[in-house]
């Protein structure tokens, strides 16, 4: 499947943090031809194992997305909501949303609150209900909603909700297609609940006990107008090899190995230094007695907004680098 088609398939699933089952089912079907066994742990991590006799290598990409959870339905049928993961009130007004049961609506702002004063408590979801009773035939308190925006390609760019981190799930799937010969014991883990605290990666890494861990995720792109230069990566400049973010300082041995592989295979790459944020690497590297950990990132504009933007060639480069590391000769 092509990158856009894979994104469309994964985004058609309802998968905010804690409700990743539909995404996992789709990925299980897509990954099955390329691995030896697939298991699901207690938290819901999907663990795709390609058996080998060499060092254990864990690749992690999180399946969950940010979302909204209904906390109150008022007398007129409007829905108040809390956040699942990081939401900015300035990104949401006018955004179409979708519930797991197919109910659709739009986020709006109450009254005449000035944009500079917007907070989540000023926002609500309108599902077109006549009143509270009508709304409750469509949605219940505790139901979750996700962005209902449509992925598309324009030129070399992919526009889509939830590139964070479904695009990394695509990277792992595309890498699995490329792996032809590896003695390493490979675990491709599609993790849960990253957006609410790296929870799935923590339990998956503890259970697998890998020698090496590679978190695949998005990173901010430093090419927007008046960029604050809080990050180093730029969309279109290749696979971003993570050096550090606020959750991890990647092991120099892994950073060097990824750079060497990229150079040897003519994979375009760049350095990923981020002053904020974090990925599953933050949980993996602290597992048990420690794990040699690194990261491969897709530079992405407008992370956590209803339409994020990435470069297709970067996605391809990241998949090639994942496959290269999977097949590399690694020290146990």
Last residue of one domain, picked from the residues 117, 147, 177:
147
In a domain, 59, yes or no: yes
- Give pLDDT tens digits for 263-295: 999 999 999 999 999 999 999 999 999 999 999
- 207 and 231 together in one domain: yes
Examine the domain organization and report whether 123 and 272 are in the same domain: no
For residues 180 and 29, give the distance between their C-alpha atoms in angstroms, rounded to a whole number. 20
Chain segment 124-174, per-residue pLDDT in tens:
999 999 999 999 999 999 999 999 999 999 999 999 999 999 999 999 999
Q: Has residue 276 been placed in a domain? A: yes
Question: Which of 95, 113, 147 is the endpoint of a domain?
Answer: 147
My answer on whether 238 and 100 are in the same domain is: no
Clarify whether residues 174 and 267 are in a common domain.
yes
How many angstroms separate the CA atoms of 258 and 320, rounded? 11
What pLDDT does residue 168 have?
98
Asked if residue 59 and residue 22 are part of one domain, the reply reads yes
Q: Do 204 and 56 lie in a common domain?
A: yes
The predicted pLDDT at position 94 comes to 97
CA 193, CA 15: separation in Å to the nearest integer?
10
Which CATH number characterizes residue 96's domain? 2.40.30.40
Q: How many domains does the chain have?
A: 2
Position 133 in a domain: yes
Tell me what pLDDT residue 73 has: 98
- In tens, the pLDDT along 195-220 reads 999 999 999 999 999 999 999 999 99
For residues 21 and 92, membership in a common domain is answered with no
194 is catalytic: yes
Close Cβ partners of 3 (under 8 Å, ≥ 6 residues apart): 158, 167, 170, 174, 312, 315, 316
Cα radius of gyration (the chain): 20
Q: Which of 2, 114, 117, 194 is catalytic?
A: 194
Pair (83, 94) in one structural domain: yes
Please check whether residue 153 lies inside any domain of the structure: no
C-alpha closest to that of 139 among 64, 87, 72: 72
31-51, pLDDT tens digit by residue?
A: 999 999 999 999 999 999 999
53 and 76 share one domain: no
CATH, residue 231 = 3.40.630.10
The alpha-helical segments, DSSP class H, found in 58-142 are: 132-135
- Mean pLDDT (the chain) is 97
Residues 113 and 192 in one domain: no
Q: What is the pLDDT of residue 331?
A: 82
Whether 154 maps to a domain, the answer reads no
Task: Tell which of 124, 147, 170 closes a domain.
Answer: 147
Reported as a single tens digit per residue, the pLDDT across 79-115 is 999 999 999 999 999 999 999 999 999 999 998 889 8
CB 254 within 8 A of CB 294: yes
Residue 134 lies in a domain: yes
Q: Looking at the domain assignment, is residue 156 inside a domain?
A: no
Residues 212 and 266 in one domain: yes
- Are 195 and 130 members of one domain? no
Of 291, 301, 298, the closest CA to residue 225 belongs to 301
Q: Is the link from the previous residue into 93 a cis peptide, with omega within 30 of 0?
A: no
Q: What's the pLDDT score for residue 112?
A: 86
Rounded average pLDDT over 48-61: 97
The whole-number average pLDDT for the span 58-77 is: 98
Task: Assess if residue 331 is contained within a domain.
Answer: no
What pLDDT is stored for residue 297 in this prediction? 98
Q: What is the domain extent for residue 105?
A: 67-147
What integer pLDDT is reported at residue 1 of this predicted model?
Answer: 83
Exposed / middle / buried, residue 154 (Cβ in 10 Å: 0-12, 13-18, 19+): exposed
Q: Rounded CA gap, 223 and 144, in Å? A: 33
For residue 332, pLDDT over 80 is answered with no
Instruction: Please give the average per-residue pLDDT across 226-236, as a whole number.
Output: 94
């Amino acid at each position: 499947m092509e990158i856009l088609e894979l994104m469309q398939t994964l985004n058609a699933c309802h998968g905010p943090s804690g409700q990743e089952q539909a995404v996992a089912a789709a990925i299980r079907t897509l990954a099955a031809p390329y691995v030896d066994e697939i298991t699901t742990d207690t938290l819901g991590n999907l663990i795709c194992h390609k058996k080998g006799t060499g060092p254990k290598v864990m690749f992690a990409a999180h399946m969950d997305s940010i979302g909204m959870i209904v906390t109150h339905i008022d007398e007129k049928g409007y829905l108040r909501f809390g956040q699942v993961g990081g939401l900015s009130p300035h990104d949401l007004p006018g955004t179409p949303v979708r519930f797991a049961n197919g109910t659709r609506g739009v986020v709006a702002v109450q009254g005449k609150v000035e944009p500079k004063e917007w907070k989540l408590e000023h926002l609500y979801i309108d599902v077109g209900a006549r009143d509270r009773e009508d709304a409750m035939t469509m949605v219940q308190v505790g139901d979750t909603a996700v962005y209902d925006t449509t992925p598309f390609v324009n030129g070399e760019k992919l526009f889509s909700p939830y590139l964070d981190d479904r695009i990394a799930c695509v990277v792992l799937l595309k890498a699995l297609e490329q792996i032809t010969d590896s003695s390493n014991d490979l675990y491709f883990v599609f993790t849960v609940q990253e957006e609410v605290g790296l929870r799935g990666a923590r339990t998956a890494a503890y259970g697998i006990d890998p020698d090496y861990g590679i978190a695949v995720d998005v990173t901010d792109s430093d090419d927007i107008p008046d960029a604050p230069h809080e990050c180093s990566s730029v969309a279109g400049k290749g696979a971003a090899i993570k050096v550090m973010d606020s959750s991890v300082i990647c092991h120099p041995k892994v950073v060097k190995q990824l750079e060497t592989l990229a150079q040897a295979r003519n994979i375009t790459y760049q350095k990923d230094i981020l002053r904020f944020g974090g990925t599953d690497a933050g949980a993996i590297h602290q597992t048990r007695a420690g794990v040699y950990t690194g990261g491969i990132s897709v530079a992405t504009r407008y992370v956590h907004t209803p339409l994020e933007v990435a470069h297709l060639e970067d996605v391809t480069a990241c998949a090639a680098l994942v496959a290269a590391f999977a097949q590399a000769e690694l020290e146990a």
